[in-house]
Amino acid sequence: MSKPLRIFLVLLGVAVVAGGVGVLTAYISRINAPSQTGETLYIDAKHPHGVAMPAFKLQTANGGVFDNADLRKRWTFMFFGYTHCPDVCPLTLGRLAVVMGDLKKAHRAGDLQVLFTSVDPQRDTPAKVAAYAAYFDPRFVGATASPAEIKRLTGELGIYFKREPDPFDAKNYLIQHSASILIVAPNGHLVARLEPPHYPKLIESELKEIRRLYEK
C-alpha cells in the first residue's frame, strides 16, 4: 500500500470512530460540513485526483474477474456487505439504485457503476452475489473473493466486518460491517468516502461536487 493511501485511511478511520466528524488535517479536508443527516464527505486536498487503490482481484459470476483495470474510465461506488444482511445492505443498495435511476434520467449515469462485494464468501458464491446485486439494478456488479483476499482488501481500505452469532438462530450467523460507500474516480484512485445514513439526493449532490473538483 502506498504511503499516501495509508495516511488517508488511518485518518478516515479516526473520523469513522469519532462518528464521521473526526479530526481533519491539511492532508484531508472535509468538502462539506456534516449535514443534519449525519453524512460526511472526505476527499484528499493535496491530491484532488485521489490516492491509488490497492491491487485486488475479485470473482464475478460465470468465472469472471473484476480488478483494478475495471475501475478505469468510470466512476465507481464501492460497497461491502453480504446477501444475508437483514437491513443495511438492502437499504443501501436500494438507495444506490435510486441514484442510478435519477442520473440515468438526467443522462449522467453512463460513466457510473456500482460494485457490491460480499464479505461472506463462505455463503455467497460469485453467482449469488451477482444475482443479489442485479435484483436492485441490473447494471450493478456483484463480486466476492477468497476469505484471505477479502480480509486483505477490506483491511487496506479501512472497511470493518466481524462475524457474530445470530441471536434468533443458533445455526446461523450475522456479520457486523461498515456501511461506508467508497467512491473511486475514473483514474482508478480512491477520492471519497461517504458515511451513513445515505440519502439519494445527498449522494447525488456530493458526487456532483466530487466530479467538479476532480475535473478542475
> 152, exposed or middle or buried, with CB in 10 Å at 0-12, 13-18, 19+?
middle
**Beta-carbon contacts of residue 144 (< 8 Å; ≥ 6 apart):** 58, 59, 117, 118, 119, 120, 121, 124, 125, 126, 129, 150
Averaged pLDDT for residues 127-142: 97
Cell 466486518 belongs to which residue? 161
Radius of gyration of the chain (CA): 16
| pLDDT-based confidence at residue 96 (cuts at 50, 70, 90) | very high
Taking residues 123-143, what's their average pLDDT? 97
C-alpha closest to that of 116 among 81, 74, 153, 84 = 81
Q: Is 25 in contact with 42 (CB distance < 8 Å)?
A: no
Average pLDDT value for residue range 147-156 = 96
Report CA-CA distances (Å) from 19 to 92, 110, 159, 205: 18, 33, 15, 21
The pLDDT, as a whole number, for residue 212 is 86
Sign of CA dihedral 67, 197, 7, 51: positive
Mean pLDDT of the chain: 82
CA angle 1, 160, 101 (to 5 degrees): 95
Percent of the chain scoring above 70 in pLDDT: 78
pLDDT at 214: 85
Is the pTM here over 0.85, yes or no? Answer: no
Confidence check: pLDDT of 166 > 60: yes
CA distances from 185 to 39, 68, 153 (A): 20, 12, 18
What percentage of residues in the chain have a pLDDT greater than 90? 62
138 grid coordinates: 441490473
- 7-61: per-residue pLDDT in tens? 344 444 433 333 332 222 222 233 333 334 445 455 555 666 788 899 999 999 9
